[in-house]
Amino acid sequence: MVASPKRVFPFDSGAFSKRKLPDYIGLMPRREFEVNGADAPERIIGSFFGSTQDYFFLKAKPINVFEQEFSLSPFNAEAKAIMRLAGEKSIPEFDDRRFAFEVQSAEPVEFLVSKPLAVVLPEQYLDIEIVRNTIQDDWGAEPWGYPMFALSVSAYYAIIYKEVHSFYERRELL
């Protein structure tokens, strides 16, 4: 990203406004969670997770390690709330998107990759010539198929994540 961020949040601000995040986050003003700097996502990942791989798997640092590392006091309620959100596993209505970064910019953003690197989709779509050719020839992306079973849609999340993880590992992005 070339443009400087105007605002960065360690969660979706729309979800915050619609009260889709746990109450312990919504008790504080949204602006208190704003993080500055173009490197904010990397700093947040390092602070709350330690590594990109741990962030991908939402494996947060133990809270006692986090609190000792940053010498937190009761006045650091926002940081403690985000740490709790990062490690939250007991609330089923909050999924892994709870810790997506929101980066807002007042300027146009130029992405370093102008085309997708990969497309993960059900294998049956790769049998369709126009789909396969669009992904490979037009977009220059790698098609990644996964098998379809008689499962509910939510059961496919793990399969898709496994494929994305395999792609990231092969590209040495994790």
What pLDDT digit, counting tens, does each position of 64-104 carry? 888 889 888 888 899 999 998 888 876 556 555 677 888 88
Q: Comparing C-alpha atoms, which of 90, 105, 85 is closest to residue 33?
A: 85
Share of the chain above pLDDT 90, in %: 25
Contact criterion met (CB below 8 Å) for 79 and 72: yes
pLDDT at 20: 82
Instruction: Quick: pLDDT tens for 127-163.
Output: 999 999 999 999 999 998 988 887 777 778 788 888 8
Q: How confident is the model at residue 1 (pLDDT cuts 50, 70, 90)?
A: very low
Q: Comparing C-alpha atoms, which of 171, 160, 27 is closest to residue 96?
A: 160
Residue 97 neighbours by CB under 8 Å, 6+ apart: 12, 15
Q: What is the mean pLDDT of the chain?
A: 85
